[in-house]
Chains A and B, each alone.
Chain A
Amino acid sequence: MLLNVENLNVVIPTQGGPLHAVQDVSFNVSKGETLCIVGESGCGKSVTALSLLGLLPKSATRSASRMTFDGKDMITMSDKQIRALRGDRLSMIFQEPMTALNPLHTLGRQLTDVYMAHRRGDRKEARERAVYLLERVGIARAAERLGQYPHELSGGLRQRVVIAMALMCEPELIVADEPTTALDVTIQAELLRLLAELQKSMGLGMIMITHDLGLVSRIADRVVVMYAGQVIENAPAKELFENPKHPYTRALLGSVPNPSHPRMQPLPSIPGTVPSLVQKMEGCHFRDRCELASEECRVSIPLLEVGTEHAARCIKAEPETSVARSAVP
């Protein structure tokens, strides 16, 4: 087990009161595994990622009953210890490559800085590693690129540089927060393929944060679905797409336009909007938008086992009987 998170909570103070951005979130990532955290805006997926990296805003408070990276306790780690880990064994890729790169420094400078901050190598070694990685991420004439500035590159190339930078110190876990949403679809496919390849050859664990279910279906080993601060479903990817249990997961999958819907006919959609997380909500967070909701949904609902390694936060999601399971080819 590379990363183990249990009952992670993040509270951010706002003018209207404390905002419970992340509530009792638990998940695990193993070496070589891709975990996708999927959800709509405001569900807490990015805050979860930032809290793993120790990058939450100063005013936010994080608590967890357990949070370990390769057996080391991350809860009690000092800022300095987290900083030593971040960029070295635990690295990240952000959504917008233009803001992730410093416009005032050359690519070479930025790539080698990461290396030199964590390894006691010299700049020459670092440059060699940078050239090697830029070539690995598919950038031609890598040695020349080191002297360039971020504005001289297209968005796709910049994101490749960010990926190379994340790999500078041979990390074990990469946290990628919507790494391809700012890019064209053709470039998105190329980059995802590259990431998957690198991950396989280097045995990396990856947490991919996204709202794109199409993307999730293509790369995930395991999926965590979040809604309004909570994990509402956690399952192996195959199981989640073939047999979604939570009404929200099912509704979300149904509302993605796809060729099997009759064209120009209404798509299924989810009525209403996401509840505010400022007041702590009792009971199922989805109940106001759920067609199955009843009085019983007003009490707080734990994640329930509904299948093999498959959990859903819904009392209406019945666990499968062995008969039903064997009926699936």
Chain B
Amino acid sequence: MSEDSILSLANVTHDFKRRRALTGPSPLIRAVEDVSFDVRKGDILGIVGESGSGKTTLAKIMLGLLPPTQGEVLLDGTPIAKMPRKRIAERIQFIFQDPYSSLNPRQSVGQIVAYPLYLRGQENAAERDKKARELLDIVGLSSRFFDAYPSQMSGGQRQRVAIARALITRPDLLICDEPTSALDVSVQSQVLNLLLELREEFGLTYVMISHNMAVIQHMTTHVAVMFLGRIVEMDTSEKVFQTPQHPYTQLLLSSTLSVEQGAGVPDLNVDADARRAMRDHPSYVTQRV
């Protein structure tokens, strides 16, 4: 673990128990296998991979919501397994994919944004409201939204509310699971711009999970590529995007449909043999010095 790392994962493996048949042992599904990396202050680490490759399981482990079967997660050098939930929450916050289901429809925006402060219990109601209004202003929502309800807002506005809620306790690390995939492109760029601005303003570190390679390329300093629960390639995003090493990374990049008129759809030709070869291929994980 290096000096300035906020969060570090050491040989993290997670197995899910599958419902067993009538008799016999319950089979295990290995969702995440032997994952190790450091998230350093100021990084934007992108995690990409196909559905079922273990991205979200890994995010839950980083948040301390899911104890790994093996391995350890360290927050500032302390194992998070031994930390109380509230202390983790002060350092690490989360933005979910779907702003339509991540906000309580029966609470006003002001209540939603101030709720983490309420849980922390250090401020009185007036201070909480004041801070919530400040945060709404920072994420670009006028204070008239303070008393509005999520149902009155568009997807982009809701995602801003989710960002305000995540930032109100001034965490260091924000884990964003597909933060813009439910949004339209014109709104997506507004939210991405906001995330970049906030990073400057609050000195934030992000872990960003996405299947949109263009977004990951634009937004990240480092990229980890996951395939069948393992990290098959990890390096700075320039290197991963310019000289992808692992065949799965290469496949992922060539299947991305960027705006290129007349280029047609790439012929990937991935058969069972190619998939097997990708599975057996060694990983390219560049550990930073």
CA distance A257 to B217 in the complex (A): 9
Is the pair B218, A264 in contact by a Cβ cutoff of 8 Å? yes
A41 in contact (CB, < 8 A): yes
Please name the residue on chain A nearest to B215 by beta carbon. A257
From 144 to 194 in chain B, residues with beta carbon under 8 angstroms from any chain A beta carbon are 154-157, 184-190, 192-193
Query: For residue B156, which residues in chain A have a CB less than 8 angstroms away from its CB?
Result: 273
Q: Write out the residue numbers on chain A whose beta carbons fall within 8 Å of the beta carbon of B186.
A: 40, 251-252, 255, 269-270
**Would you call B193 and A189 a contact (CB within 8 A)?**
no
Report Cα–Cα, A264/B215, bound state, in Å: 10
Contacts of A266 on B, CB cut-off 8 Å? 193, 196-197
A253/B259 in contact, CB under 8 A: yes
Contact with B along A217-241 (1 / 0, CB 8 A): 1110000000000000000011001
* Stretch among B18-26, B265-273, B279-287 lining the A interface: B265-273
Residues of B within 8 A of A217 (CB): 257, 259-263
Size of interface on A: residues with Cβ below 8 Å to B: 44
Residue in contact with A218 in the complex, picked from B192, B264, B267, B270, CB distance below 8 Å:
B264
Considering only residues 66-118 of chain A, those with a C-beta below 8 Å from chain B are none
Residues of A within 8 A of B187 (CB): 40, 269, 273
Within 8 A of A (CB), among B207-241: 211-215, 217-219, 221, 237, 241
Chain B interface residue bracket vs A: 35 or more
Tell me the complex Cα distance, A190–B270, Å: 9
Contact B265 A238 (CB under 8 A): no
Q: Flag if A211 contacts B211 (CB, 8 Å).
A: no
Instruction: Select which of A211, A218, A219, A261 is within 8 A of B185 by beta carbon.
Output: A211
CB distance from B46 to the nearest CB of A (A): 12
Judge if B255 is at the interface, Cβ distance under 8 Å: yes
Q: Are B268 and A186 in contact (CB under 8 A)?
A: yes
Q: Which residue of A lies closest to B156 (CB)?
A: A273
Q: List residues 21-73 of chain B with CB under 8 A from any CB of chain A.
A: 44, 50-51
- Complex contact A256–B259 (CB within 8 A): yes
User: CB of B251 within 8 A of chain A?
Assistant: yes
Please, how many angstroms separate the alpha-carbon atoms of A192 and B263 in the complex?
Answer: 13
* Residue pair B214, A257 in contact (C-beta under 8 Å): yes
Give the chain B neighbours of A264 by CB distance below 8 A.
Answer: 44, 196, 218-219, 221
* A192 to B44 alpha-carbon distance, docked (Å): 32
Given contacts A218-B257, A258-B258, A263-B217, contact A269 B252 (CB under 8 A): no
- From known contacts A192-B265, A267-B218, infer whether A255 and B185 are also in contact, taking CB-CB under 8 Å: yes
Q: Tell which of A186, A211, A241, A258 has the most Cβ of chain B within 10 Å.
A: A186
B260, closest chain A residue (CB)? A217
A266 to B217, CA, bound (A): 13
A70 to B193, CA, bound (A): 48
Distance (whole angstroms) from the CB of B121 to the closest CB of chain A: 36
Question: How far, in Å, is B199 (CB) from chain A's closest CB?
Answer: 9
> Does A292 touch B at the CB level, under 8 Å?
no
Within 8 A of B (CB), among A236-289: 237-238, 241-242, 251-253, 255-259, 261, 263-271, 273-274
7 A-B pairs with C-beta separation under 8 A? A217-B259, A257-B214, A258-B214, A259-B217, A259-B258, A261-B218, A269-B187
Which B residues fall within an 8 A CB radius of A? 44, 50-51, 154-157, 184-190, 192-193, 196-197, 211-215, 217-219, 221, 237, 241, 251-252, 255-268, 270
